[in-house]
Structure 1
């Protein structure tokens, strides 16, 4: 797909679905079935290939292979031939001193890739090693240069940024998509253990996207990685930022594979032993699985936000101490359980009110509040306005935009 075609395609997808979804793939089978599932674009990254080998995404930054050659080999053989309807983006190591960027971008285009992405990125590296790389000319500015050359050659580009200055540079270089990279993805057995909280991710996203709005509002704004790994995490980010989409790798390849392969193998292993006792079979599978208590809490809140939610009751059901569970939750989310519940309820109220004409009193009841005053106080704490002020302001802006 050519650059103008990609813009038209993504604009249409945004209008249809409200958000975009990109998947970083490391194999043909992943690419084929994520396209079937509705992905809007694919990223061919070296870390995706290493995940398929059973290693962490971090391997994409180690001297295990020539990353550009790796992506060129597996993506041109496995992904490009099987993907016809959505763009495939090449993960380019722009700091590779053995290539000429203008010539290599021409090769990428000739191989039918739709665009480039600056990965692996210097932005993921810090400390003395970062200083040594920069002394050798391997800087983030080389990645900016790659995006600028792509822009000059009319090649689509997805720019990973890690701070405000990098965002400004990539916007000036002409990036078509600005994607805030939140770090290696957490979760599962091989996931990153130290990541920022979701609340910190919201703050970082809003800082980056404010720059986008000030310099080039039309640029597509996405988020990637870090603590954002489940559908509920993605929705939480959508509700609290102006992100227009999500890019994920481990969320679609590594974590589902870890879970499904373990469970399917256990099921086959138990054939003839417990096949007459389905409940026992399920209990064994559940006990053997990798539990993430915070994910279970988020699922519980999503399903029961309209009811009274008592944290100690949840802790009892999970057979874990309340204080320990509270510490886990605060560390991963960056907020307390009551604060998280309030955010979920108010965001849901805004979502419903946009689509349905319903009294604020009834809306408060639907969100799990016993009275309107409590709902209004929570609403104002989150939005800075009462429900009546907020929706009146929204309606006025909507009328002005139509006029």
Structure 2
């Protein structure tokens, strides 16, 4: 597809109030069904190929193979013949010393790719290794130059940027899409901490987009990676943000859904029933006030996370109220402070466990959120009138 036609299609989507979606993959099956689901373009990235091998996206940054050769091989054979009338974007390693970029980008165009994206990108590398790359001449500016060359050849260009300065450089090079790269797609973040990390990601993206608007307001602005990995995460990023026009995902479209569905279906065949979604997480990200009053939200959060560290400040941020207001509201409705409530809850939960299970006391404390057994024992005695050991002995005596 020609660059002009791609831009026309994307602009039409935006004008209709839709969001732009790019899917980064390393497999034909993902590309095929991403198109069926309404994706606007497909990115061929080396990390996508490694994910299909069961490896982390980080493999795309290690010397396992030549990135450009890998992408050219699988994408030209498996993707371009399969997905017709769809922009296929080549993930270009612009620091590859074995390629003359002018010649190679022309070859990319001749093979039927609609454009390029700067990936793998040195923008993800920091610290001493980044400094060494800079000294060796392998800087982010090589990626900027590759985007400039591709633009001059009338290819569609998607630029990953990590700060405001890089956004300006890529716009000046002719990038059609500025994608705020928020880091490698995260997993395992739970509860309020995840929402706080989403808020930080939104702030970072907004700074980048403000720089874009100062130079070229109509440039397309997308986000990728970091804590943004589910539709509700993306919705959180869209909230109160008129700049954001869409989302690009890799792991979010193939690794995470595959992990969940293959794990769940295997378990479903193995045993009766299957895993449920974390309803509380969805409600939190969708907006606390839609589903709860503030105090009920805090109580439900404690019920599901009492075994973990819980920050009351984080909960206040999620609820979008001040810590002092939430604390006052909680104390008034519950009759005690949050700190007293969670200690009482944990101790009651510990007593429940002792009532029904024969468990080592040294193992019990971490189950209810205490890493220090001495502190746990002290709190248990304060609220139950005896130590955990005495409580357990009383149970054994009764039985």
Separation in structure 2 between the aligned mates of residue 149 and residue 294 of structure 1, nearest angstrom: 48
Separation in structure 2 between the aligned mates of residue 125 and residue 149 of structure 1, nearest angstrom: 24
Separation in structure 2 between the aligned mates of residue 85 and residue 245 of structure 1, nearest angstrom: 21
Q: Which residue of 1 aligns with 2:96?
A: 96
Separation in structure 1 between the aligned mates of residue 245 and residue 153 of structure 2, nearest angstrom: 26
Contact 2:194 2:227 (8 Å CA) reproduced? no
| CA deviation after TM superposition for structure 1 residue 323, in Å | 7.5
Structure 1 residue ranges, 4+ long, deviating more than 4 angstroms after superposition: 193-196, 291-294, 299-302
Aligned counterpart for 2:293 among listed residues 305, 308, 311: 308
CA offsets 1:309-366 (integer angstroms, 9 cap, x no match): 4233312542x32973447x93xx9x7221189xxxxxxxxxxxxxxxxxxxxxxxxx
Separation in structure 2 between the aligned mates of residue 174 and residue 250 of structure 1, nearest angstrom: 28
Separation in structure 2 between the aligned mates of residue 153 and residue 300 of structure 1, nearest angstrom: 43
Q: Which residue of 2 aligns with 1:132?
A: 132
Q: Which residue of 2 aligns with 1:12?
A: 12
Q: 1:214 to 1:300 in 2, by over 3 A?
A: closer
Q: Which residue of 1 aligns with 2:270?
A: 269
Aligned counterpart for 2:281 among listed residues 295, 299, 308: 295
Separation in structure 2 between the aligned mates of residue 35 and residue 301 of structure 1, nearest angstrom: 31
Contact 1:171 1:212 (8 Å CA) reproduced? yes
Separation in structure 1 between the aligned mates of residue 167 and residue 178 of structure 2, nearest angstrom: 7
Q: 1:239 to 1:312 in 2, by over 3 A?
A: closer
Q: Which residue of 2 aligns with 1:338?
A: 319
Q: Which residue of 2 aligns with 1:168?
A: 168
The residue correspondences of 1:67-146 to structure 2 (distance < 5 A) are 67-146=67-146
| CA deviation after TM superposition for structure 1 residue 67, in Å | 0.6
Separation in structure 2 between the aligned mates of residue 296 and residue 194 of structure 1, nearest angstrom: 11
Separation in structure 2 between the aligned mates of residue 75 and residue 149 of structure 1, nearest angstrom: 21
CA offsets 1:13-67 (integer angstroms, 9 cap, x no match): 2223421111101100000001101111111101111111111111111111111
| CA deviation after TM superposition for structure 1 residue 198, in Å | 1.1
Separation in structure 1 between the aligned mates of residue 213 and residue 286 of structure 2, nearest angstrom: 35
Secondary structure at 1:336's aligned position in 2? Answer: helix
Q: 1:323 to 1:55 in 2, by over 3 A?
A: closer
Q: Which residue of 2 aligns with 1:352?
A: none
Root-mean-square deviation (CA, aligned residues, Å) is 2.6
TM-score, with structure 2 as normaliser: 0.74
Contact 1:196 1:227 (8 Å CA) reproduced? no
Separation in structure 1 between the aligned mates of residue 167 and residue 136 of structure 2, nearest angstrom: 23
Residue ranges of structure 2 left out of the alignment (5+ in a row): 323-399
Q: Which residue of 1 aligns with 2:252?
A: 251
Contact 2:47 2:60 (8 Å CA) reproduced? yes
Residue ranges of structure 1 left out of the alignment (5+ in a row): 271-280, 342-403
Separation in structure 2 between the aligned mates of residue 228 and residue 340 of structure 1, nearest angstrom: 23
TM-score, with structure 1 as normaliser: 0.73
Q: 1:195 to 1:298 in 2, by over 3 A?
A: closer
Greater C-alpha Rg = 2
Contact 2:196 2:317 (8 Å CA) reproduced? no
Separation in structure 2 between the aligned mates of residue 85 and residue 23 of structure 1, nearest angstrom: 15
